[in-house]
């Protein structure tokens, strides 16, 4: 009798542990999902501001203050890039390359370049010189591209092509 109740208690304990472990794993999975969605939303915001600037230049739009607003958006979002990629999440619907976390110094350099170009973009946008703005939008675009080349999966390998995720 005595041994069997010990076993029951042990089994109950094991069951509890199992539940706790599952809950923990689910919690971790949620944090991963959140980190992944967040960094993609950040990139979408950055993509939106770049598209807006490109359209302003391409169509010669004269929306007062717009170039500055989009440049400032880019510069402040650039400052969130480091934290947005802090958590290593390589599984699921993502185009992030594991190199982000394997070569943190190179990734940090890419982020720095991005921050520097977008800060410059704000100065140029305030200035109102469209030719200078065009050149700096290009330079900023290069900083996006060089990070994507090293740290984002190429289009052909994108999860979006494979039909997974949103
Ligand atoms: C320091 C690196 C880095 C810089 C700089 C960077 N990106 Fe990205 N970007 C990434 C990575 C990595 C991903 C893939 C994220 C994922 O799928 O988890 C990405 C994804 C994206 C996406 C797709 C988002 C989605 O919903 O899947 C867009 C759009 C984008 N970037 C635009 C830009 C633009 C425009 C710039 C420059 C103004 C830029 N990025 C600068 C690393 C960078």
Please check the confidence at residue 1 and state whether its pLDDT lies above 70: no
Please check the confidence at residue 12 and state whether its pLDDT lies above 90: no
Asked whether 134 and 54 are in contact (CB, 8 A), the reply is no
Give the pLDDT of residue 138.
98
Alpha-carbon distance of 151 to 158, in angstroms, equals: 12
Q: Does residue 43 have its Cβ closer than 6 Å to ligand 1?
A: yes
Give the pLDDT of residue 166.
47
pLDDT in tens, 27-69: 999 999 999 999 999 999 999 999 999 999 999 998 889 999 9
| Angle formed at CA 67 by CA 126 and CA 143, multiple of 5 degrees | 95
Alpha-carbon distance of 160 to 120, in angstroms, equals: 32
Pick the residue whose CA is nearest to atom 15 on ligand 1.
96
Alpha-carbon distance of 77 to 140, in angstroms, equals: 13
Asked whether 38 and 84 are in contact (CB, 8 A), the reply is yes
pLDDT in tens, 96-135: 999 999 999 999 999 999 999 999 999 999 988 999 999 9
Alpha-carbon distance of 165 to 33, in angstroms, equals: 11
User: In the structure, what pLDDT confidence band is assigned to residue 26 with cuts at 50, 70 and 90?
Assistant: confident
Q: Does residue 94 have its Cβ closer than 6 Å to ligand 1?
A: yes
Give the pLDDT of residue 50.
98
Give the pLDDT of residue 18.
72
Give the pLDDT of residue 4.
72
Whole-Å CA distances, 109 to 22, 76, 114, 151? 38, 17, 9, 12
Q: Does residue 96 have its Cβ closer than 6 Å to ligand 1?
A: yes
């Amino acid at each position: 009798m005595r041994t069997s109740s010990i076993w029951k208690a042990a089994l109950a304990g094991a069951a509890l542990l199992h539940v706790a472990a599952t809950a923990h794993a689910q919690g971790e999975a949620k944090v991963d999902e959140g980190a992944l969605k967040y960094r993609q939303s950040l990139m979408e915001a950055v993509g939106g501001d770049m598209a807006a600037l490109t359209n302003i230049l391409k169509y010669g739009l004269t929306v007062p203050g717009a170039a500055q607003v989009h440049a400032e958006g880019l510069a402040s979002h650039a400052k969130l890039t480091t934290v947005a990629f802090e958590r290593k999440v390589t599984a699921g619907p993502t185009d992030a390359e594991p190199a982000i976390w394997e070569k943190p110094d190179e990734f940090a350099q890419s982020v720095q370049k991005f921050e520097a170009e977008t800060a410059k973009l704000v100065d140029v946008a305030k200035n109102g010189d469209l030719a200078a703005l065009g050149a700096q939008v290009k330079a900023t675009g290069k900083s996006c591209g060089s990070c994507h080349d090293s740290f984002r999966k190429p289009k052909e390998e994108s999860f979006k092509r494979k039909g997974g995720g949103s």
